[in-house]
Structure 1
Amino acid sequence: MTHSIEIFVAAQQAVAAGTPMIPRSANDKEYFPQDWFADRVSALGLPFAAQGRNSYPDFWVGDDGSARVEGFEIKSLAFSNGRPARRDYDSNSTIPSGRKDGCDVFLVFFLYTGSRGDPRPVHSLSIAHADLINSDHAVAAAHINEGIDGFGSYGDGFIRDRKMYRFPQPYTIDPSGLGRCRLIVPAAWAVADTRLAQVGTIDRKIVDEALKSYEIHLDGSTGATAKRAERPDAGQVCRFDVFEGR
């Protein structure tokens, strides 16, 4: 069971109607796409719960208000001068993946125009199963932020090792989707819905080696070293179907 299709259809209709995202203030860099998404889910009558900052995903959408059915992580970038502001996006303190606590997770990714406190028209919208970004569920679930004490000349300093992860944003992976609204799901789901038209497929190939650990030095001159190991699933292809609304 997936609510992603009805959420996508409602979102695409809102984009077609010119419904903009409204910043809470001129300095709002985070909440306006979340508010826009929440309005779409509310209009569908689906129960959902927002999580706190730095939690993954941003929303759980469920059937009875308590059961976690699917997660939705919201990200956005400005679109100007004919291109997205960046080819990647930041995931603060959390490794993104397509599963969390046994539930599927989607990345809802907006490109928008406008700035400051003005309404932000939606230029492009991608609702993609987050396995498109990263399918290492176990590694993502085991993520931790470390704290190291004993730092500094008197030994009473503390290093807060809070990681920032950077991954390609969906339009780097699916550039033909610029200016459009698309739903991207695992091909194994064999989605068939009269409201959707399949417009393509995307293959993501598992790399040969996994990054297992890295070492950094605090002397300011020694570069980081990385340790890698061969992946047992190296070379496997994860295929995704790409849909637009009819």
Structure 2
Amino acid sequence: MTHSIEIFLAAAAGVANGITMTPRSANDKEYFPQDWFADHVSKLRLPFRAQGRNSYPDFWVGDDQATPIEGYEIKSLAFAKGRPARRDYDSNSTIPAGRKNGREVFLVFFLYTGSGANPRPIHSLSIAHADLINMDHETAAAHVNEGIDGFGSYGDGFIRDRKMYRFPHPYSIDPSGLGRCRLIIPSDWGISHPSLRPCGHISRTIAANALRSYTVHLDGKTPATKQQDRRPDARQRREFSVFEAG
């Protein structure tokens, strides 16, 4: 069971109707796309709850507050000079993946125009099952931020090892989606809906090796060293179906 179809259709209608995102202030870089998404989910009368900062995903949506069906992580980038500001996006302290606590997770990704405190028109919208970005669910669930003491001249310093992860965003994977609203769902879900128009497929190939650990040297000279293992699912393919409203 998924609410992603009705959420996508409502969001796509909002984009088509020119409903802009409103920053809370000129310095707001995070909340205006979350507010826009929350407003559209609320209009569907779907139970949802927001999580705290640096929690994944940003929202749980479900049939009731206690047992959410799925999660939604909200990200955005500026669109200027005919392209997104970057080809990737940051995930602060948390590894993105398509499942959390046994529930499916979607990435809601906006490209917008405008700046400062002005309203932000939406240029492109992608609601993609987060397996499109990463499907190592167990690794993501096991993520920890470490603290290492004993640092500095007197041994009383502390290293806060809070990691920032960077992954390609949906428009780097699906560039034909620029300027459009798209829903991307695993093909094996067999989704069919009268208000969705199939418009393509995306195939992603599992990498040959998995990064299991890395060592960072504090001398400022030695590059980080990586430890990799052969993946048991190496070179397998994950297929995704792409839809637009219509």
Question: What TM-score does the superposition give when structure 1 sets the normalisation length?
Answer: 1.00
**Secondary structure in structure 2 of the residue aligned to 1:134:** coil
Is 2:220 the partner of 1:241? no
Q: Which amino acid aligns with 2:125?
A: L
Q: Which amino acid aligns with 1:126?
A: S
Q: Which amino acid aligns with 1:84?
A: P
Structure 1 match to 2:166: 166
Shift of 1:125: 0.1
Shift of 1:127: 0.1
Percent identical pairs in the alignment equals 72
* Separation of aligned partners in 1, 2:176 and 2:170: 10
- Report the number of matched residues: 246
* Separation of aligned partners in 2, 1:233 and 1:213: 19
- The aligned runs of 1:41-60 (5 Å cut-off) are 41-60=41-60
Shift of 1:199: 0.2
Shift of 1:233: 0.3
Shift of 1:192: 0.3
Structure 2 match to 1:225: 225
**Secondary structure in structure 2 of the residue aligned to 1:150:** strand
Is 2:164 the partner of 1:201? no
- The aligned runs of 1:70-219 (5 Å cut-off) are 70-219=70-219
Q: Which amino acid aligns with 1:169?
A: H
Give CA deviations for 1:81-126 in whole Å, capped at 9, x if unaligned: 0000000000000000000000000000000000000000000000
* Separation of aligned partners in 2, 1:62 and 1:44: 12
* Separation of aligned partners in 2, 1:117 and 1:187: 40
* Separation of aligned partners in 2, 1:76 and 1:113: 11
* Structure 1: 4+ residue segments shifted above 6 A: none
**Secondary structure in structure 1 of the residue aligned to 2:12:** helix
* Separation of aligned partners in 1, 2:235 and 2:88: 23
Q: Which amino acid aligns with 1:236?
A: Q
* Separation of aligned partners in 2, 1:145 and 1:184: 31
Give CA deviations for 1:170-195 in whole Å, capped at 9, x if unaligned: 00000000000000000000000000
Shift of 1:65: 1.7
* Separation of aligned partners in 2, 1:162 and 1:95: 12
* Separation of aligned partners in 2, 1:61 and 1:176: 29
**Secondary structure in structure 2 of the residue aligned to 1:69:** strand
Shift of 1:148: 0.1
Shift of 1:66: 1.3
Structure 1 gaps, min length 5: none
* Separation of aligned partners in 2, 1:65 and 1:224: 44
